[in-house]
Amino acid sequence: MNIESIDKNFRLKVPGGSQTVFFDVAEPPFAVYGLMRDEKGYYRMPYDVAAKTNDGVKGLNLHTAGGRVRFRTDAEKIVLRAKMRAVSKMPHFPFTGSAGFDLYSDGIYKGTFVPPLDIKDGYTSELTVGGEMKEITIHFPLYSGVVKPELGFPPGSTVEKAEDYAVQKPVVYYGSSITQGGCASRPGNAYQNILSRILSCDHINLGFSGSAKGESCMAQYIAELDMSAFVLDYDHNAPSTAHLEATHKSFFSIIRGRQPDLPVIMLSRPQPNPNAEELVRRDIVKKTFETAKANGDSNVYFIDGTEIMNIFGGDSGTVDNCHPNDLGFYCMAKALEPVLGAVLKK
């Protein structure tokens, strides 16, 4: 049975008219955040550093997690026309999250540009946004690559530059598939995007699914970034407790050695009902924090991942006892909000 034939609310919103004026989001007045760009498309960090780190980071660097485009418009409708690459499909991850774009108008969710299941190298989709001048944020896909996104507007629409974020230096996040956004139902529900809207702060997402192993070359790259805060969260991708212990303190030390006053927030994996190994991992991360504090570091913070899901929902916060669903990501955002909010106000 084709559900779309009996329930119109499941039908994809495909533009029906031709009177649309398209613009490349790489050009003013649009502003793209969290991503780099060249003639091949968008990416998250320099190719050479990604390739030197490991093959997973090299490939996942093309995924646009954390990417956003912002602008103001009074258009009644907005059409997305996206050319894409490296589209990811997974059985436990909503396609709207891995390959969709979602839109916020003055911070309020208005809808998702939903990709068709038979997508090959891109798609076109339309959303109605109201017709009054609003500030628009569109979040890029979490687990797919984007070559060229264009936005279309009805003739006569006004399109202007959006105001800058209140915190313009980005918060940088480094970690695992969870950091990259798996398995949020749509990009705006990844915890960094939630925090970006709450705190009006730019950010860079350096989450690499299965590939964040605390390499020193990654730490050296991050240490050179001009950032307002750093969130360190790669517990899940450390192959063993021994690997985590051998790399976690040294990774932090590289960052701290280059940026002695940078706020650094350390997370252990967000795991309700942890087993014995997961508790050992938590204690390794906490030990890095406690050692730094004992050495006089007053700008380092620790969040116990075993308690995060208790904010709301407990073990209802994941899709597979590992990757957060939207509820889990909301819990992560609420756990970080008071800490990150406080350091960004300093």
The domain locations on the chain are 17-160, 167-345
Q: When comparing pLDDT for 190 and 10, which is higher?
A: 190
Residue 295's pLDDT is: 97
Mean predicted confidence (pLDDT) in 185-196? 99
Mean predicted confidence (pLDDT) in 250-256? 99
pLDDT at residue 4 tops 60: no
Fold of 167-345: Rossmann fold (3.40.50)
Mean predicted confidence (pLDDT) in 233-246? 97
Mean predicted confidence (pLDDT) in 125-152? 97
Q: When comparing pLDDT for 16 and 169, which is higher?
A: 169
* Range name among 16-30, 35-49, 93-107, 282-296 with the lowest pLDDT average: 16-30
Instruction: Please answer whether residues 82 and 103 qualify as being in contact, where contact means their C-beta atoms are separated by less than 8 angstroms.
Output: no
CA nearest to 267, candidates 182, 216, 191, 168: 191
Residue 9's pLDDT is: 55
Q: When comparing pLDDT for 238 and 13, which is higher?
A: 238
| Residue 189 phi, psi dihedral angles, 5° rounding | -95, 0
Task: List for the chain the helix, strand, coil content (%; round to 5).
Answer: 35, 30, 40
Residue 253's pLDDT is: 99
**Cα gap 62→343, rounded to integer Å:** 30
Return the SS3 of 128.
strand
Residue 315 confidence class, pLDDT cut points 50, 70, 90: confident
pLDDT at residue 5 tops 70: no
How buried is residue 338: exposed, middle or buried, by Cβ count under 10 Å (0-12/13-18/19+)?
Answer: exposed
CA nearest to 76, candidates 152, 137, 146: 152
**Cα gap 331→342, rounded to integer Å:** 18
Predicted TM-score (pTM) of this structure: 0.94
pLDDT at residue 15 tops 80: no
Residue 1's pLDDT is: 41
Residue 330's pLDDT is: 97
Query: What would be the CATH architecture of the domain defined by 17-160?
Result: Sandwich (2.60)
Residue 6 confidence class, pLDDT cut points 50, 70, 90: very low
Instruction: Please answer whether residues 157 and 79 qualify as being in contact, where contact means their C-beta atoms are separated by less than 8 angstroms.
Output: no
Rg (CA), the chain: 20
Task: Tell me the residue ranges of DSSP E strands in 154-195.
Answer: 159-160, 167-175
Percent of the chain predicted with pLDDT > 70: 95
Residue 90's pLDDT is: 94
Please report, as a single letter, which amino acid is at residue 199: L
Mean predicted confidence (pLDDT) in 129-134? 94
Residue 10's pLDDT is: 44
Q: In sequence order, which ranges of 191-275 are alpha helices (DSSP H)?
A: 191-199, 216-223, 241-258
Percent of the chain predicted with pLDDT > 90: 90
Mean pLDDT of the chain: 94
Mean predicted confidence (pLDDT) in 124-150? 97
Look at the block and give the residue holding tokens 């970690």. 175
Residue 7 confidence class, pLDDT cut points 50, 70, 90: very low
**Cα gap 201→255, rounded to integer Å:** 21
pLDDT at residue 2 tops 90: no
Mean predicted confidence (pLDDT) in 227-231? 99
Instruction: Please answer whether residues 234 and 277 qualify as being in contact, where contact means their C-beta atoms are separated by less than 8 angstroms.
Output: no
